[in-house]
Amino acid sequence: MTTTHPESDVILEVKDLQKHFPTRTSGIIRRASDPVKAVDGISFTVRRGETLGLVGESGCGKSTAGRTMLQLLEPTGGSIHYNGRDITGAHGNDLRKLRTEMQMVFQDPYGSLNPRQTIGTIVAAPFDIQGITPKGGVKAEVQSLMERVGLNPEHYNRYPHEFSGGQRQRIGIARAVALRPKLIVCDEPVSALDVSIQAQVVNLLEDLQAEYDLTYVFVAHDLSVIRHISDRVAVMYLGKFMEVADRDELYSNPLHPYTQALLSAVPIPDPRKENKRERILLKGDLPSPINPPSGCVFHTRCPRFREELSDTERKRCTTEIPLVQKIGDHEVACHFAGPSKVEVL
The span from the CA of 276 to the CA of 151, in Å, is: 44
Residue 90 beta carbon to another protein: minimum distance, rounded to whole angstroms = 34
Closer of 80 and 235 to another protein (Cβ): 235
Footprint of another protein (CB under 8 A): 25-28, 57-58, 164, 166-167, 194-200, 202-203, 206, 221, 223-225, 227-229, 247-248, 251, 261-274, 279, 281-282, 285-286, 345
The 3-state DSSP composition of the chain as helix, strand, coil percent (nearest 5) reads 35, 25, 45
CB of 264 to another protein, least distance (A): 8
Q: How far is the CB of 164 from another protein (least distance, A)?
A: 5
Considering beta carbons, is residue 268 or 321 the nearer one to another protein? 268
- Of the candidates 110, 118, 2, 18, the one whose C-alpha atom is nearest the C-alpha of residue 64 is 18
**Angle at which helices 119-130 and 165-177 cross, to 10°:** 20
Listed residue (171, 44, 184, 172) closest to 102, CA to CA: 184
Q: Which 8-state DSSP code applies to residue 285?
A: -
∠ CA 119-121-126, nearest 5°, is: 110
Smallest distance, another protein to C-beta of residue 246, A = 11
For another protein, give the closer residue by CB, 133 or 288: 288
Q: In what order do the strands lie in the sheet with 325-327?
A: 102-105, 183-187, 215-220, 51-55, 232-237, 240-246, 330-332, 325-327
Shortest Cβ distance from residue 251 to another protein (Å)? 7
Type and span of the H or E element at 219: strand 215-220
Closer residue to another protein in complex, CB, 10/199 = 199
| Residue closer to another protein, measured from CB, 144 or 203 | 203
Strands 215-220 and 183-187: parallel
Q: Which of 124/193 has CB closer to another protein?
A: 193
Q: Tell me the closest approach of the beta carbon of residue 134 to another protein, in angstroms.
A: 30
